[in-house]
Chains A and B, each alone.
Chain A
Amino acid sequence: MSILAILEQRNGVWNRMSWETLAAARQMGRELGQPVEAAVLGRGVASLAAEAGGRIWAVEHTLLEPYTADAYTEALEALLRYANPSLVLFPHTYQVRDYAAKLAARFGRVLASDIIGHRVEGGELFLVRQLFQGRLNADVRFTLGPPSFASIQAGAYRAEALESGAAEVRTFTPPLEPDAIRARPLPPFRESQRGVDLSAASIIVSVGRGIKDRENLPVVERLAQALGAELAASRPICDNGWLPMERQVGSSGQTVAPKLYIAVGISGAIQHLVGMKGSKTIVAINKDASAPIFEVADYGIVGDLFEVVPALAEEIEKAKRS
């Protein structure tokens, strides 16, 4: 029995989350006393696989490029039936979110998705997940035998140094048929050039659901102006069209790390936190004291943003005049 870490590459470039997944696999492997293997899928990936070090499967087929959920599921199903791992770990990327649960279902299993940690108790593995948008944590366990499946949240594990010494690359050619691939993917593209580069801002005032209505935006605009800050938002604000998508911070928007980030009426769902938790100083203003945004904040004010934000803007204007 072994732990299998699925690494991700696109056009021969590694997704960095692969190394965090490999680190998670090695930690769990040490604690459970199981060897670790890795696998990477694609066309002509054997030399890339060698860069990863350790024991690694190069799962190769022309039908694995470009990515499709059908081809990845078929290919990994074949590999798992051959290699028989006890646990399969994935980086929780957009690509993994598209096929890993389907693969698990094929084995009658449920993917423990987006895990942030683990512990081993009496030889049993418990995985930590967030519930209710990060307001609660849960330890989950697998109730059936192998194989088990889990995906690792970005940043949850620190990538370790790669294993030194020559990699042991084994090539696996899955039996794929063109007919099994039902989706026809077209080449990826980027939308028009971004007008706002939030990553260059030194101060960001970011607004979330708590603002309630587009008409209330001047409340935060005044604060941003007082600070000379860029205005940003969490996803729901941009989904509603209250601010343009290019001002969205989070996993589907921009990643920022300004010296000051003021989160106004943002609860702090993980999708938002990953985009801003590297900020130097974080201030959270929210009426809900249990909002996850306070987990990452240096300073917090629990209160009604419609009272706190104008008072703050006034104090900042006062301080700037003095």
Chain B
Amino acid sequence: MKILVAVKQVPARDAPLRIDASGRWIQEDGLSFEINEPDAYALEAALQLKEKHGGEVVVVSAGPARAAQAIREALAKGADRAIHVDQERLENWDTLGVAGLLARAMESEKADLILTGLQSDDLGYGQMGCVLAELLGLPHATIIMQVEKLDGAVKVKRELEDGWFQNLELPLPALLAVQSGIGKLRYATLMGIKRAKTKEIRRVTAAEMGVEPAPAIEIARVYLPPKSKQTELLEGSPKEAAQKLVERLRFVARVI
């Protein structure tokens, strides 16, 4: 089974965010980046399927030069090779534009299955899988908790709201947007990191593929969220802060 996994590199979760001079994005210099965690789960699902059924796992990532780091990490975890859509300033492309880049890079691969994470931790549109499936003409399902390979099809378990689930069958080739928690994330081993150095990373650019950005949506302004609630911050040493909190919980909020 040939599986493609779309992986995005995003600012690390605890990276301090500063708004840039344009007021429309963040300052990226000095930030550390990591694999978007939902995509790490998509990769995990792909690696587990490969371990069970054999085949190949190919990572596809669109991003500037720095994204190579995320790609190498995915290769170190066990992906066989990668395609890097090497593109600076992807913030000027919207979801549909980036999906167009990924779709163009993916279509010649003739994969059986394409996996994406459910959403990115930076923009959080949560729609790359859906849009890619539309552009590639593939059936898709989202919020997937389990994947079972059948003959020429997959049976997947989809999460619904309020603790409900649903199984569905999709003919292959198909695209699945994977829910976080589908498996336990693996770490790259030393051997894996060593092997990754010899694995193929094919680089393509938007210009080479003849794709130009034509955004349908754009960010006009980025800002800190206004506070909706008056939060009393309790200061001092841990002990002092704890004492202040207990006092308020007992005598102001009266909840303990």
Hey, which bits of chain A sit against chain B, CB under 8 A? 69-70, 73, 93-94, 97-102, 104-106, 108-114, 126, 129-144, 182-191, 194, 203, 209, 227, 235-236, 238-241, 251-252, 259-260, 267, 280-281, 283-284, 288, 290, 292, 294-304, 307-308, 310-312, 314-316, 319
Contacts and interface: CB of A to CB of B under 8 A. Distances in A.
B10 to A, nearest CB: 9
15 contacts: A105-B134, A140-B219, A141-B217, A143-B217, A186-B166, A189-B166, A236-B37, A281-B249, A290-B17, A292-B225, A299-B249, A299-B253, A301-B233, A303-B241, A312-B245
B94 interface: yes
Interface stretch (B63-71, B73-81, B107-115, B168-176): B168-176
A132 B17 contact: yes
A136 B26 contact: yes
B169 A190 contact: no
Contacts of B229: 295-298
Interface stretch (B1-9, B45-53, B137-145): B137-145
B221 A139 contact: yes
Q: Which of B11, B164, B220 has the largest count of A CB atoms less than 10 A from its CB?
A: B220
A206 to B, nearest CB: 15
B234 A105 contact: no
Contacts of B256: 203, 227, 260, 316, 319
Contacts, number: 257
A69 B168 CA distance: 12
B160 A136 contact: no
Contacts of B248: 299
Nearest to A69: B140
A316 B225 CA distance: 33
A230 B26 CA distance: 39
Q: Which of B135, B220, B255 has the largest count of A CB atoms less than 10 A from its CB?
A: B255
Contacts of B122: 131-132
B142 A315 contact: no
A97 B17 contact: no
Sort A-B residue pairs by CB-CB distance and give the 8 closest, nearest first.
A239-B181, A101-B127, A182-B139, A311-B242, A101-B130, A307-B238, A260-B255, A312-B242
A301 B131 contact: no
Q: Tell me whether chain A's interface is mostly helix, strand or loop, or mixed.
A: mixed
A102 B165 CA distance: 22
A312 B250 CA distance: 13
A138 B219 contact: yes
Given A110-B95, A235-B180, A308-B242, 20 more contacts: A98-B142, A101-B95, A101-B127, A102-B131, A105-B134, A109-B96, A129-B124, A133-B13, A133-B124, A137-B225, A138-B223, A183-B139, A184-B168, A190-B165, A280-B253, A284-B231, A295-B231, A299-B232, A299-B248, A311-B239
B211 to A, nearest CB: 14
A227 B256 CA distance: 8
Given A136-B26, A191-B165, A110 B94 contact: yes
Contact of B11 (A105, A114, A132): A132
A105 to B, nearest CB: 4
Nearest to B223: A137
Interface residues of B, number: 81
A15 B232 CA distance: 36
Contacts of B29: none
B219 A105 contact: no
A209 B14 CA distance: 11
B249 to A, nearest CB: 7
Contact of A300 (B139, B228, B232): B232
A303 B214 CA distance: 45
B9 to A, nearest CB: 14
Contact of B241 (A251, A294, A301): A301
Given A143-B217, A300-B232, A98 B141 contact: yes
Interface in B128-187: 130-131, 133-135, 139-143, 159-161, 163-171, 174, 179-181, 184-185
B166 A110 contact: no
B208 interface: no
Contacts of A304: 238
Contacts of B217: 109-110, 112, 140-143
B27 interface: no
A142 B216 CA distance: 6
Contacts of B126: 97, 101, 113-114
Contacts of B243: 315
Contacts of A186: 166-169
Interface string B95-117: 11001000000000000000000
B246 interface: yes
Contact of B142 (A97, A106, A284, A308): A97
Given A98-B142, A105-B131, A299-B231, A126 B96 contact: no
B99 to A, nearest CB: 7
Contacts of B181: 235, 238-240
B234 A315 contact: no
A185 B246 contact: no
Given A105-B135, A132-B17, A239-B181, A315 B242 contact: yes
